[in-house]
Amino acid sequence: MNLTRRSFIKKSTMAASAMGTITILPRRVWSASVAPSDKVNVALIGCNNMGFGILGHHLDTQMVNCVALCDVDKNVLNAKAQEVKNRYGQQPVLYGDYRQVLERNDVDAVIIGTPDHWHCLIMVDACQAGKDVYVEKPMANTIGECNIMVKAAKKYQRVVQVGQQQRDSKVFKDVMNLIKSGEIGKLRKVNIWANFNYGLGAIPRPDSEVPPGVDYDMWLGPAPKRQFNPNRFHGSWRHFWDYGGGLMSDWGVHLIDMGLWITDLVEGPEKVITYAANLCPKTMHRDTFDTMNVIFPKKDYVITWDMTAGIQQGPFDSSYGVQFIGDNATICADRLKYRLYPEWDEEKKTPKAKAVSYDKGSESHRQHVDNFLHCVKSRETPSCPPEVGRAAALHAHISNIAGRVEQTVLEWDDVNNRFINCERANELIFPEYRKPWHLPEI
């Protein structure tokens, strides 16, 4: 039976008192063989949209104290603090600089819900400060930052969960079990599609003054200095290379991850064949692509990615999904449902597999949070550790890089972390941090 922090302190203090001494126990004790306290003390860094949603799932477990909120926008910060108080009866301390949060000894874990360009720096600093981390996907905005984050989690022995919540989805767990048990026969192809209106980017708007209450220089952080524009801020920042990777890195990491999970791949792609362009006739404000087709050849199967921003229709009546094609059957899945379609055996006059249908799935953010909190206490490896997050992110980033350098085929050396056939692509592996920020070194 695992001890709680409270009971461990009590028993240790009693034993020490009996010997005439009082022992002060270091924080590392809690992350070694002893589980954390009955309630995990959590801080949220980046309080808008998904970050706050993930905090809500943590608080809904009733296993968490929210001790701190941090955001560079005081308007967001104050609104979310009030919501935490109203919904959960908790009153976290508010901060505008994440480093002040990490200085607190009572913070066990942090949730990183910032734009992608901040993920690496905050995650590494949190690990160095002895905190466990739930970091939103994609794990980082560049390949080099992903590599650094993997090293940091290992060096500081932290529990790090990347927010690819489909790893805890009943739908996709069922699908993986069906395929790995041989139900569809030999897997040959994984076809993935993602069609969403928002992927087009935003309608152009002029640069403007920084809104009141916003620390814009801190929001930019390590990203290049630029005049404030509302399209590069809340809600649509991910369509600019400085901060994100568009629809590809937003949905791509989720869906491509399913094609990697089926064979437990945790490496970057050896070869990526990419077509990437902006084909929508509308004038939109963005750097990223609205149309992409990508092929990822694997050892004995192939993954394909088909993305069209600006539309909402797709195969099998779903705007997004994954199709697993085997010799005996095909499975089509999204987050809410899956179907197994058997092939027909002409010789035996019978289906080659049993048809399966399930349509009671749901979003799995809560299950992913449950897994994280369990691992914070048990020190087990979570369902989406940094190695898994890195693999999915690299498939998305390398595809985007291929489009940016206009090279259809890129070959990647995962051991040496470099492109074999394109030096221009190698220049995009690491970001150049704006001073005074520095790329972390592990």
Bridging pattern class, strands 109-112 and 350-351: unpaired
Query: Is a pLDDT exceeding 60 seen at residue 313?
Result: yes
- pLDDT value for 16: 34
Query: Is a pLDDT exceeding 70 seen at residue 33?
Result: no
- pLDDT value for 44: 99
CB-based contact 131:108 (threshold 8 Å): yes
Query: Is a pLDDT exceeding 70 seen at residue 115?
Result: yes
What is the share, in percent, of the chain residues with pLDDT greater than 70? 92
- pLDDT value for 23: 30
Domain 36-164 matching CATH 3.40.50.720: the answer reads yes
By three-state DSSP, how is residue 260 classified?
A: helix
Question: What average pLDDT does this structure show over 21-31?
Answer: 33
- pLDDT value for 84: 98
pLDDT digits 0-9 by tens, 57-74: 999 999 999 999 999 999
Question: What average pLDDT does this structure show over 184-203?
Answer: 97
Residue 197 is encoded by which pair of tokens?
Answer: 């209106």
Alpha-carbon gap, residue 440 to 437, rounded angstroms: 9
Q: How confident is the model at residue 3 (pLDDT cuts 50, 70, 90)?
A: very low
Question: What average pLDDT does this structure show over 287-299?
Answer: 98
- pLDDT value for 37: 56
Can you give the pTM of this predicted structure? 0.90
- pLDDT value for 38: 83
Query: Is a pLDDT exceeding 80 seen at residue 27?
Result: no
Query: Is a pLDDT exceeding 70 seen at residue 242?
Result: yes
Bridging pattern class, strands 93-95 and 64-70: parallel
Q: Which residue type occupies 265? A: L
Question: What average pLDDT does this structure show over 372-394?
Answer: 98
Give the count of alpha carbons within 13 A of 414, CB side only: 15
pLDDT digits 0-9 by tens, 144-190: 999 999 999 999 999 999 999 999 999 999 999 999 999 999 999 99
pLDDT digits 0-9 by tens, 318-362: 999 999 999 999 999 999 999 999 999 999 999 999 999 999 999
Query: Is a pLDDT exceeding 60 seen at residue 438?
Result: yes
Query: Is a pLDDT exceeding 70 seen at residue 8?
Result: no
Question: What average pLDDT does this structure show over 397-418?
Answer: 98
Question: What average pLDDT does this structure show over 210-225?
Answer: 98
Residue 440 is encoded by which pair of tokens?
Answer: 């972390």
Torsion-angle region of 412 (φ positive above 0: left; ψ -120 to 50: alpha; else: beta): beta
- Which of the following CATH numbers is that of domain 167-365+386-426: 3.30.360.10, 3.40.50.300, 2.40.33.10, 3.30.470.20? 3.30.360.10
Provide the mean pLDDT of the chain: 92
